[in-house]
Chain A
Amino acid sequence: MTESLNASWPLWEVFVRSSRGLSHVHAGSLHAPDATMALRNARDLYTRRNEGTSVWVMPSDSISSSDPDSKGGFFESPQGKNFRHATYYTKSEGVKHL
């Protein structure tokens, strides 16, 4: 077998919108030779039980992701910063309709 026959199809990420008005949500990933076939495979794999009204696919390698090892610096710094939440603030006297 030549190398090209052994090489498997590229990976795609699938996003499904379950109903009108909602966002597309990441559903999973799949292999496909190109974007057109990726959409068809997504339809076959992720909308088998009426899950979707719209599907997006994108090449997995075009996604940049945060580094799991830098969780502290990335995601833990908001801890204790209550002032970023609306509920931190008390209602001022004389302000109506809040």
Chain B
Amino acid sequence: MSFTSGDSATKISAGNAITPEDIIAAGEKAPEDVATYAMYLGDDALMLAQRLGHWISRAPEMEEDVALANIAQDQLGHARFLLSYAGSAWAKTEDDLAYFRGEEEFRSCRLVEQANGDFGQTIARQLIFSLYQYELFTRLMDSADETLASVAAKAVKEVTYHVDHAAQWTIRLGDGTEESHRRMQEGLYYMWPYVDELFKDDDLLRDLSERGIAVLPSTLRASFDARIEPILEQATLTVPDVPGAWGGDRSGNFSEHRGHILAEMQVLARQFPQGVTW
């Protein structure tokens, strides 16, 4: 994949993209198993958005603040679509799911919950997760579930850019100075134990993928490897030879960071459940 679009160079009109409100307005009620799958994907996006948002005002340059904030906004957008759709199964709103679920009720993977660390560590997380999301959404565009398919079709354009952003930085840091190389490689070591679980199947995923609704994660691994390896090679970095972290379902039972992220993300909504204005 390259960051060039086959689209015409003529001006794109604003506001012709699908919105979370469209999903609500359509009145589609997601079946519970599809809703749980949407929650897997939506929680990943929400956690990553929360993590990335922390970089605002802390990135190496102001331009990079904006770049990471843009990516966070894209992820928050994915989360809004997916959690709006998931919530329809249980008559809950996106906010109910984001702000009023407990730690053990989230279904995010651990990779997106990992600490930002330094810029290299964040870029390592971005590279791994964006490549996974790119493969996932490319396939999910053909989902038998129309809502998931249309969300994936919108998201894949955004994620194409996230991959490019992460790859450009991986190459510059890896093949940069001795210090930047060291930090980028350490970032990869830190994140790599959480790669395997991105591609782990479970009963729900197997069932939904047999019906053409979900993408079976294990089937994405080969193309993920084929994409990340040349990037790391160009960056003079090595694929870490480390075992996967223990645990690794989406239950939250093995998650070190989830509760801390939620504490910060949910505090205002829980303290003022009727809403606040200022």
Contacts and interface: CB of A to CB of B under 8 A. Distances in A.
A interacts with B: yes
A40 B11 contact: no
Contacts of A45: 63, 66
Given A31-B61, A31-B62, A49-B14, A41 B67 contact: yes
Interface residues of B, number: 19
Chain B interface mostly helix, strand, loop or mixed?
helix
Interface stretch (B131-139, B144-152, B164-172, B221-229): B164-172
Given A20-B11, A50-B14, A36 B168 contact: yes
B12 interface: yes
A60 interface: no
B272 to A, nearest CB: 30
B172 A33 contact: yes
A27 B161 CA distance: 21
A32 B63 contact: yes
Contacts of A74: none
A44 interface: yes
Interface string A64-82: 0000000000000000000
A37 B172 contact: yes
B10 interface: yes
B66 A40 contact: no
Interface string B145-187: 0000000000000000100110010001000000000000000
Most buried by A among B63, B66, B172: B63
Interface of A: 8-9, 18-20, 30-34, 36-37, 40-41, 43-45, 48-50, 53-54
14 contacts: A8-B61, A19-B10, A20-B8, A37-B172, A41-B63, A41-B64, A43-B161, A45-B63, A50-B11, A50-B13, A53-B9, A53-B10, A53-B12, A54-B9
